[in-house]
Amino acid sequence: MTAPHPIHPPERAFLGVARSASGRGWRDRLDVRGNQAALALAQRRGMPELLARVLAGRGVTLDDAEAYLDPSLKRLLPDPDLLTDMPAAAARLAHAVERSEAIAIFGDYDVDGATSTALLVRVLRACGIEPVFHIPDRLFEGYGPNPEAVRTLADRATLLVTVDCGTSSAEALEEARRLGFDVIVIDHHQAPERLPPARAIVNPNRQDDLSGLGHLAAVGLVFIVAVALLRELRRRGFWSEARPEPDLLNLLDLVALGTVADVVPLVGLNRAYVTKGLLAMRKRENVGLRALMDAARLEGPPAPWHLGFLLGPRINAGGRIGDATLGTRLLVTEDAAEAAKIAAELDRLNRERQAVEQATLEEAEAEALAALGLEERGAVVIASKDGWHPGVVGLVAARLKERFGRPAFAIAMLGDSGTGSGRSIAGVDIGHAVRAAVERGLLLKGGGHAMAAGLTVARDRLKDLRAFLEEALSTPVEAARHVDWLEIDGALTAGAATPELKELLERAGPYGSGNPEPVFALPSHQVAFADPAGDKHVRLRLRAGDGRTIGAIAFRALGRPLGDALLAARGRTLHVAGSLMLNSWQGTERMELRVLDAASAEPLAAH
């Protein structure tokens, strides 16, 4: 569907595209100053023009270009003590290690929670401690520590460490204090003004933390805690020839997986985590990750998209519709047979999850269309129904957001309440809106980030919640949708899209949230072939004026304006925009274009 308002030709219109097949304008990512910066990078650093344009489009300057192209942990990893409460956390953990205390870890059921828990388990094992861990059941326990689980763990340990949760768990941590249970919280979620009781709360998003590390995933934060712990044990003379200090770099594969899967911005330290973590993953030393890569049929060196679309969803599948502990158990095991068994089960659960998600999405889209009307008016999409599986509502919300171009919530109703997830568009903070709804008594509980949130709502307050979110988000959503254009990094022809170019561009990666994959326009390419691929996609071949061709695919475009435009353009010429993909098949590598948009190749005056 096109946007509900006209799109005027944006400043820096690329190829003169004011309205594309998907209803957007195309804009050169670089303004005048950006083009000057790209020229300076190309001339003074001697780099190819396209790479210089990609760097300049991400704000990289002459002075920091060299460091940007080689993100170094040594340079980017901060002093752990910059984080509020870190000295107290490291000291308490070191004390527990020295005394061989029983330690319990409470994680979250998503990939960030599983990798955070597994990372801390492996670090403590290297210190001579075999901790117990608990991953809550999404359906029966919900997110974060709960009093019943705390009471159970208090019988098995004297120190509780929560990872990727705990900052807002006042009731559970009050119970821990009542039981005399020491607690350390390692979390990155937005924090309330009044923090729960704990020995230490390491969270860069607490209001009194000035570290500037709020963009880290929980697993990246746990890695810094591990650095602080090993340093504190070193100060205490803990390490010896018989008990050598572990090399934390070998655990960066877990950090990379959790960082990519949690969709945190791939900037600064996160870029270094993922870059170095992918190198560690290539060694395939983690028994569980190796089994998971085999189950996912991952061939060749792992790339960020493998982590986000192949490995992450399989780890998540256990927490969504199966046993929530499966992912963590896989990542901590040293038994190859056990790893293969768990990986196979996660692979099966992922296929089951896909089927459940698709059925739920079809119902949610129908409800959303009925609520928005033919003109698709409204600031927010809220779909809810009895019988939906709570484990897939986050995925459905993400699909609704993509489909309707506005924040979306999917809520699984059960009895008198419902559990839901929300996903947002750039420039709209739904985490803030959800917390405001909690404060107004519209939600039983809720929280999250700017781009993602979770909530629990009473059935009889659902209508009030809808009205509140519509009012709270209407202005930022209108502003965000008014600037809905596709940023283009440069122009290419089919013949110029080579594996060598892809390898060159990877120097500016890894790409993901906060560091978007470069988008290139292929001007005036003939649609030599276009056909549906499966029931969702459109596959095509594009031919340049010199006769060179490139294969392309538009994912989830079938039945949408973009897919309709591509299929209708067989034999005609279009401007096509997308990102380059390297397709490896049976030892052969060829470039393909992942199509994001297309537009008429007629002059601007004809639009």
What pLDDT, on the 0 to 100 scale, is given for residue 217? 96
* Distance of alpha carbon 160 from alpha carbon 176, whole angstroms: 9
Indicate the SS3 state at residue 123. Answer: helix
pLDDT at 10 over 60: no
* CB-CB neighbours of 549 under 10 Å: 16
**Average confidence score pLDDT of the chain:** 92
8 A C-beta contact, residue 565 and residue 598: yes
Closest CA to 339 of 328, 349, 348, 323: 328
What pLDDT, on the 0 to 100 scale, is given for residue 606? 38
pLDDT at 607 over 70: no
Give CATH 3.10.310.30 domain extents, the chain. 373-482
Closest CA to 271 of 216, 190, 212: 216
Listed as own residue / partner, the contacts of 139-142 with beta carbons closer than 8 Å and 24 or more positions apart are 139/390, 139/391, 142/419, 142/456
* Distance of alpha carbon 333 from alpha carbon 130, whole angstroms: 12
What pLDDT, on the 0 to 100 scale, is given for residue 164? 97
Mean pLDDT over 378-397 rounds to: 94
Give CATH 3.90.1640.30 domain extents, the chain. 74-283
SS3 sequence, 324-380? CCHHHHHHHCCCHHHHHHHHHHHHHHHHHHHHHHHHHHHHHHHHHHHHHCCCCCCCC
H or E stretch at 418: strand 417-423
pLDDT at 193 over 50: yes
H or E stretch at 29: none
Q: Hey, what amino acid is at 219?
A: V
* CB-CB neighbours of 240 under 10 Å: 8
What pLDDT, on the 0 to 100 scale, is given for residue 7? 45
8 A C-beta contact, residue 439 and residue 192: no
Query: Is the Cα torsion angle 319, 321, 322, 326 positive or negative in sign?
Result: negative
* Distance of alpha carbon 607 from alpha carbon 601, whole angstroms: 10
* Distance of alpha carbon 607 from alpha carbon 605, whole angstroms: 6
What pLDDT, on the 0 to 100 scale, is given for residue 139? 79
Cα 226–Cα 250–Cα 109 angle in degrees, nearest 5: 65
Strand-strand pairing, 573-585 and 549-554: unpaired
pLDDT at 460 over 70: yes
Give CATH 2.40.50.460 domain extents, the chain. 14-29+489-606
Instruction: Note the pLDDT tens digit of each residue in 350-380.
Output: 999 999 999 999 999 999 988 887 566 889 9
- Give the neighbor-by-neighbor strand order of the sheet with 200-202: 132-134, 103-106, 159-163, 182-186, 200-202
Instruction: Note the pLDDT tens digit of each residue in 523-581.
Output: 999 999 999 999 899 999 999 999 999 999 999 999 999 999 999 999 999 999 999 99
H or E stretch at 31: none
8 A C-beta contact, residue 13 and residue 26: yes
Is residue 322 very low, low, confident or very high in pLDDT (cuts 50, 70, 90)?
confident
Is residue 140 very low, low, confident or very high in pLDDT (cuts 50, 70, 90)?
confident
Hey, what are 425's tokens?
Answer: 């568009």
Closest CA to 418 of 389, 440, 441, 447: 389
Is residue 483 very low, low, confident or very high in pLDDT (cuts 50, 70, 90)?
low
Instruction: Note the pLDDT tens digit of each residue in 13-28.
Output: 899 999 999 988 999 9
* Distance of alpha carbon 487 from alpha carbon 282, whole angstroms: 32
Indicate the SS3 state at residue 535. Answer: coil
* Distance of alpha carbon 458 from alpha carbon 486, whole angstroms: 39
Domain 74-283 CATH class label: alpha beta
What pLDDT, on the 0 to 100 scale, is given for residue 479? 87
Is residue 603 very low, low, confident or very high in pLDDT (cuts 50, 70, 90)?
low
Measured CA distances, 104 to 96, 107, 114 (Å): 11, 10, 14
Is residue 451 very low, low, confident or very high in pLDDT (cuts 50, 70, 90)?
confident
Give the residue carrying structure tokens 């960082």: 259
- What's the N-to-C CA distance of the chain in angstroms? 18
Give the residue carrying structure tokens 């996912």: 296
Hey, what are 173's tokens?
Answer: 């941590």
Closest CA to 530 of 546, 553, 549: 553
Peptide bond into 244 cis (omega under 30): no
pLDDT at 604 over 90: no
Mean pLDDT over 463-479 rounds to: 94
Cα 164–Cα 168–Cα 172 angle in degrees, nearest 5: 95
Hey, what are 189's tokens?
Answer: 């979620």
Closest CA to 4 of 323, 363, 379, 425: 379
* CB-CB neighbours of 370 under 10 Å: 9
Mean pLDDT over 579-590 rounds to: 80
Domain 14-29+489-606: which topology? OB fold (Dihydrolipoamide Acetyltransferase, E2P) (2.40.50)
Closest CA to 310 of 285, 293, 323: 293
8 A C-beta contact, residue 196 and residue 456: no
| Burial letters 242-269, b for 16+ CB under 10 A, else e | eeeebebeebbbbbbbbbbbbbbbbbbb
Give the residue carrying structure tokens 């060694």: 283
SS3 sequence, 231-279? HHHHHCCCCCCCCCCCCHHHHHHHHHHHHHHCCCCCCCHHHHHHHHHHH
pLDDT at 8 over 80: no
* Distance of alpha carbon 540 from alpha carbon 303, whole angstroms: 24
The number of residues in the chain equals 607
Assign domain 373-482 to its CATH architecture: Roll (3.10)
Measured CA distances, 56 to 271, 409, 508, 560 (Å): 17, 35, 10, 33
